Structure 1
Amino acid sequence: MNKELKQQFQTSFGKQLEKFRVLQGLSYRQLAQRCDLDHSVISKIEKGEVNIQIGTVLELAKGLKAHPKELFDFKFDLDE
């Protein structure tokens, strides 16, 4: 898998995370407290700047009171 495709996936995941956070009216800091993460990490994830571990996905889902699969429910084309 090429680097550009990985970056696009990270960015798409970040946008999905941001959508959930904003819909719940949470700030970076509020979500970070729920997930035991630094608020700057939440910002970087939403911008697609970091590649996170699967355990972090679980923490984010718990913090958003969502199933982890919902965070991956976004349109993404593997053929790009």
Structure 2
Amino acid sequence: MKDYSVLKGKFGLHVKQIRETKGYSLIEVDRRCELDESNISKIENGKINIQLSTIFELAKGLGVEPKDLLDFHI
């Protein structure tokens, strides 16, 4: 099995940058979607793998399109 820790870390950093650019706290994103604040933090820190459904929920919470979350360089 491949180690995706670098990919998870870069994805998480990208998510965090989007959130901070929009001026949202973790709690605000939590309120806007069906993800727990602690899970959003784990995503931003590259600690967990996420499912496709989570990408859609996260995009909803951040007010972006799902494709925007995947638009980062690895």
- TM above 0.5, one fold? yes
Percentage of matched positions with identical amino acids = 43
> Residue deviations 1:35-72, cap 9 Å, x none?
12111111100000010110010011111111111111
Aligned residue pairs: how many?
74
- Counterpart in the other structure of 1:39: 37
Structure 2 gap ranges (5+): none
* C-alpha RMSD of matched pairs (Å): 1.0
Q: TM-score, normalised by structure 2?
A: 0.93
Residue 10 of structure 1, CA deviation: 0.7
* Correspondence list, 1:1-80, <5 A: 2-3=2-3, 6-76=4-74
Structure 1 gap ranges (5+): none
